[in-house]
Amino acid sequence: MNSREENAMHTHAEGAARIGIGDLRGEIVGIDTRVPLLDGTEKPYVYLDNAASTPVLRGVLRAVEEFLPWYSGVHRGTGFKSVLATGIFDAAHDAVGRFVGADLARNTVVFTKNTTECVNKLSNRFCFGPGDVVITTMMEHHSNDLPWRKNARVVHIGITPDGHPDLEAMKRAIAREKGKLRLVALSGASNITGLCAPVHEIASWAHAAGARIFMDAAQLAPHRAIDMLGDDDPRHIDFLALSAHKMYAPFGTGALVGPKEFFEEGDPDQVGGGVVDIVTLDRAVWNRPPHKEEAGSPNVIGGVALAAAAGILSSVGMEAIAAHEQEILSYGYAKLKKIKGLALYGPTDNLEEKVGVMAFNVTGMHHSLVAAILGVEGGIGVRDGCFCAHPYVKELLHVSPEDERVFTAEVISGNKSHMPGMVRASLGCYNTRGDIDALAEMLERVVKGDYAGTYVQDPASGAFHARGYEVDFSRYCSLATRPVQGREHSEAS
Ligand SMILES: Cc1ncc(COP(=O)(O)O)c(C=O)c1O
Q: Read off the pLDDT of residues 221-257 as tens digits, 9 standing for 90 and up.
A: 999 999 999 999 999 999 999 999 999 999 999 999 9
Where residue 13 falls among pLDDT bands split at 50, 70, 90? very low
Q: What is the pLDDT of residue 76?
A: 84
Are residues 444 and 298 both part of a single domain? no
The contacts of residue 143 (CB under 8 Å, 6+ apart) are: 115, 116, 119, 216, 218, 388, 493
Judgement on whether residues 307 and 411 belong to the same structural domain of the protein: no
Catalytic annotation, pick one of 118, 386, 388, 429: 388
Of ligand 1's atoms, which has the minimum distance to the CA of residue 387? 14
451, part of any domain: yes
23: CB partners within 8 A, 6+ apart: none
Q: Maximum distance among all alpha carbons in the chain?
A: 72
Residue % of the chain over a pLDDT of 90: 92
In angstroms, the CA 292 to CA 249 distance is 25
Pocket of ligand 1 (CB under 6 A): 114-116, 141, 143-144, 187, 191, 216, 218-219, 243, 493
Do 310 and 322 share a domain, yes or no?
no
Contact indicator for 357, 49 with CB cutoff of 8 Å: no
CA 49 to ligand 1 centroid distance, Å:
13
DSSP code per residue over 12-54: HHTTPPP--GGGTGGGBTTTT-EEE-TTS-EEE-EE-BTTT--
The reported pLDDT for the residue numbered 492 is 43
Residue 493 has pLDDT above 50, yes or no: no
Here the CATH number for the domain that contains residue 377 is 3.90.1150.10
Do 246 and 162 fall into the same domain? yes
Tell me which of 54, 246, 355 to substitute to probe ligand 1's pocket, judged by most ligand atoms within 8 Å of the beta carbon: 246
Residue 484 counted as domain residue: no
- Do 235 and 383 lie in one domain? The reply is no
Is position 114 within any domain? yes
* Inside any domain, residue 21: no
Nearest CA to ligand 1 atom 7: 115
pTM of the model: 0.94
Is position 450 within any domain? yes
Ligand 1 center to 252 CA (angstroms): 13
b (16+ CB within 10 A) / e for 96-112: bbbbbbbbeeebbbbbb
Whole-number Å distance between alpha carbons of 111 and 103: 17
**Residue 350 pLDDT class (50, 70, 90 cuts):** confident
Of 66-75, 191-200, 317-326, 481-490, the poorest mean pLDDT is in 481-490
Mean pLDDT of 334-360: 95
The C-alpha atoms of residue 138 and residue 396 are separated, in whole angstroms, by 10
Closest ligand 1 atom number to CA of residue 492: 14
Best residue for ligand 1 mutational test, from 123, 137, 138, 143 (most atoms within 8 Å of Cβ): 143
CA angle 433, 343, 218 (to 5 degrees): 60
Q: Is 196 a catalytic residue?
A: no
Residue 263 sits in the same domain as residue 126: yes
**Planar angle of CA 387, 452, 475, nearest 5 degrees:** 70
Atom of ligand 1 nearest to the CA of 216: 3
Query: Is 480 a domain residue?
Result: no
209-222 residues labelled b (16+ CB within 10 A) or e (exposed):
bebbbbbbbbbbbb
Q: 306: domain range?
A: 61-315
Ligand 1 atom at minimum distance from 189 CA: 1
Domain-ending residue, one of 315, 333, 348: 315
Q: How many domains does the chain have?
A: 2
> For the domain that residue 198 is a member of, what is the CATH number?
3.40.640.10
User: Does the residue 9 lie in any domain?
Assistant: no
Residue 258 Cα, ligand 1 centroid: separation in angstroms? 18
pLDDT in tens, 35-46: 999 999 999 999
Last residue of a domain, one of 296, 315, 334: 315
Alpha-carbon distance 249 to 163, whole Å? 30
The Cα–Cα gap between 336 and 177 comes to 42
Task: Indicate the residue among 252, 281, 315 that finishes a domain.
Answer: 315
Q: Are strands 212-216 and 181-187 parallel, antiparallel or unpaired?
A: parallel
Beta bridge pairs of residue 278: 285
Give 418-472 pLDDT, tens digit per residue. Answer: 999 999 999 999 999 999 999 999 999 999 999 999 999 999 999 999 999 999 9
Confidence grade of residue 375 (pLDDT, cut at 50, 70, 90): very high
Atom 14 of ligand 1, nearest CA residue: 493
Distance 356 CA to ligand 1 centre (A): 15
Pick left, alpha or beta for residue 101 (phi over 0 → left; psi -120 to 50 → alpha; otherwise beta). left
Instruction: Tell me the C-alpha distance between 69 and 449, whole Å.
Output: 54
Give residue 25 CA to ligand 1 midpoint distance, Å: 24
Site to substitute for ligand 1 among 243, 253, 256, 424, most atoms within 8 A of C-beta = 243
Q: Are 234 and 139 in a shared domain?
A: yes
308 lies in the same domain as 328: no
Same domain, 347 and 466: yes
- What is the 254 CA–ligand 1 centroid distance (Å)? 10
Residue 117 Cα: closest atom of ligand 1: 11
Same domain, 309 and 340: no
156 and 102 share one domain? yes
Domain contains 174: yes
- Residues 125, 69, single domain; the answer is yes
